[in-house]
Structure 1
Amino acid sequence: MGYSIFEKTMADMTWQEVEKASKENQIVLFPLGVIEEHGPHLPLGTDSYWSYASCKCILEELNNKGQQALIVPPYYWGINHCTGGFPGTFSVRPETMKAVLMDIFNNLHDWGFHNIFCNNCHGDVIHIRAILDAIKTGRNEFGLNIRILVDFYDLSRIGLKGDEDFILVLNPEYPEEFYAGMDKSEIGLFDIHAGGYETAFIKHYFSELVNEEVAKNLKSTSLTNKELEQWGRGGEATRTLVPLGYAGNPAGYKNIVNLDCIEKFTVEYTVKRIMESLNGKA
């Protein structure tokens, strides 16, 4: 997979190709992320790279199913409350983020697109709420079918029930064998930021961006429930808790030996849910 986050997005298309896609009623995939610290071993753009790479995989699977789609250039000027105390972590105001997203939705509406699926790979609650606010307003003002992909386990954390018409809930049942080789001591702990899985994902798709020498020597800092409360306070509270800027087990990325299987399963499930929603079944 290429390094450029514009590869295979609308940024590499001509305006005539975009016009043709809208007339064909192609669906739109919108990768959403941020620029924030990800420990001493991963780049600031990790969440944006993750969201973009996922959308590329979803696009390819949609095409395999006969459904044409295109990808909006990745959005990365998001909100970073928790990690905002680290240099390199950019953050915009919620109203700024909502305004930009609304302008993007308006553009897509004016060009004739209707079905938009947002893929966000950043867990900051304030960031997610700004996206949800923009989506709900965009649906009402422009009559667009905008949905955001939401993991089932995140519903309560962001105050959703799961039946909202502006979300598409993802709850795949992964085979147990996918987790073979994982460090048993890490199972059930909160590997939430720049940990094993995130490191493995970036290593898989953007190998040159991972500092493996640093990652393999980092001690696990998976958080407890109490520590998660401190993490959520942001600023110095977060830096005191995780001074190197990661919360998880980066060294454990080598134990995730079935990443290909996990990602393939996730993409196929996501495409299935997208197709169901287009057919009024989700």
Structure 2
Amino acid sequence: MGYSIFEKTMADMTWQEIENASKENQIVLFPLGVIEEHGPHLPLGTDIYWSYASCRRIQEELNSKGERALIVPPYYWGINHCTNGFQGTFTVRAETMKAVLMDIFNNLHDWGFHNIFCNNYHGDVMHIRAILEAIKVARSEFGLNVRMLIDFYDLNRIGLKGDEDDILVLNPDYPEEFYTGMLESERGLYDIHAGGYETAFMKYCFSELVNEEVAQNLKSTSLTENELKQWGEGGESTRSLVPLGYAGNPAGYRNITNIDYIEKFTTEYIVRQIIESLND
């Protein structure tokens, strides 16, 4: 995977190539994330790197199935409520974010695109709701088929039922191999931010951006149910809970040796869901 999150996106295409893609009614993949602290071992851009890399794999898998797709330049000016007490965490107002996203959707509509799938890799509820509100406007005012990919386990905390037209629910039946590498001491805890899996993923796709020497010596700060509530308070409350800015077990990345299998399985599942949604 290249270093630039613009590589092989619309940013590297000519306007004529965009015009031809719209005439072919190509699928549009839209990576979304944020710039926020990710502990002392990962870069601020971890979420958007992850979202971008995921879109690249989805694009390649769609193309292999005969479905042409292109990628919007990544959007990373999002909302960070939980980690806003740390330097380097950028956050924008919800109305600002929604306005920019609606303008982007309007552009895509004006260029002739119709099927847009938003791939967000940031779990802040306020951030996700801003995306969904912009999508609702794009669907009603521009007539676009815009949907957000969303994991089944996120539905309840966002206040969704799962049958909404503006989302595509992901609920794969993960095989047992998916959980290889999980430490017994971590079971029942929440590794949600800059922990084992996120560190493993970054090592897999952007190894030059991971400080392994630091990661290997970090103690686990995976959260209990009560601590998860404190994490959600943001500001100094979150910072007092996790002073170094990570909520998980970064050193556990060394035990996750099947990252390629996990990503391949997940990508193939997402592509099947996208294709099925277009044929409904």
Same fold (TM over 0.5): yes
Which runs of 5 or more residues in structure 2 are unaligned?
none
- Equivalent position SS for 1:52: helix
CA-to-partner distance for each residue in 1:152-184, whole Å, 9 max, x for gaps?
000001000000000000011111023223212
Does residue 81 (structure 1) correspond to residue 98 (structure 2)? The answer is no
- Equivalent position SS for 2:232: helix
Offset at residue 244 of structure 1 (A): 0.2
Match runs of 1:180-191 below 5 Å: 180-191=180-191
* 2: CA distance, partners of 1:221 / 1:32: 26
Match in the other structure for 1:241: 241
Offset at residue 187 of structure 1 (A): 2.6
Match in the other structure for 1:155: 155
Structure 1, 83-92 or 180-189: larger mean CA deviation = 180-189
Amino acid across the alignment from 2:174: Y
Figure out how many residues of one structure are paired with residues of the other and give that number: 280
Match in the other structure for 1:125: 125
Match runs of 1:139-150 below 5 Å: 139-150=139-150
* 1: CA distance, partners of 2:116 / 2:189: 34
Match in the other structure for 2:44: 44
* 1: CA distance, partners of 2:198 / 2:13: 30
Amino acid across the alignment from 1:179: Y
Contact kept in structure 2, 1:179 and 1:258, CA below 8 Å? no
* 1: CA distance, partners of 2:221 / 2:23: 50
* 2: CA distance, partners of 1:58 / 1:143: 24
Match in the other structure for 2:274: 274
CA-to-partner distance for each residue in 1:41-65, whole Å, 9 max, x for gaps?
0000000000000000000000000
Which runs of 5 or more residues in structure 1 are unaligned?
none
CA-to-partner distance for each residue in 1:59-112, whole Å, 9 max, x for gaps?
000000000000000000000000001000000000000000000000000000
Match in the other structure for 2:250: 250
Does residue 212 (structure 1) correspond to residue 212 (structure 2)? The answer is yes
* 2: CA distance, partners of 1:174 / 1:185: 21
* 2: CA distance, partners of 1:110 / 1:177: 45
Match in the other structure for 1:259: 259
CA-to-partner distance for each residue in 1:239-272, whole Å, 9 max, x for gaps?
0000000000000001111111110000000000
Does residue 32 (structure 1) correspond to residue 32 (structure 2)? The answer is yes
* 1: CA distance, partners of 2:17 / 2:263: 29
CA-to-partner distance for each residue in 1:102-150, whole Å, 9 max, x for gaps?
0000000000000000000000000001000000111001000000000
CA RMSD in angstroms, aligned pairs only? 0.6
Amino acid across the alignment from 1:137: V
**Superposition misfits of 4+ residues, deviation over 3 angstroms:** none
Match runs of 1:51-62 below 5 Å: 51-62=51-62
TM-score (norm 1): 0.98
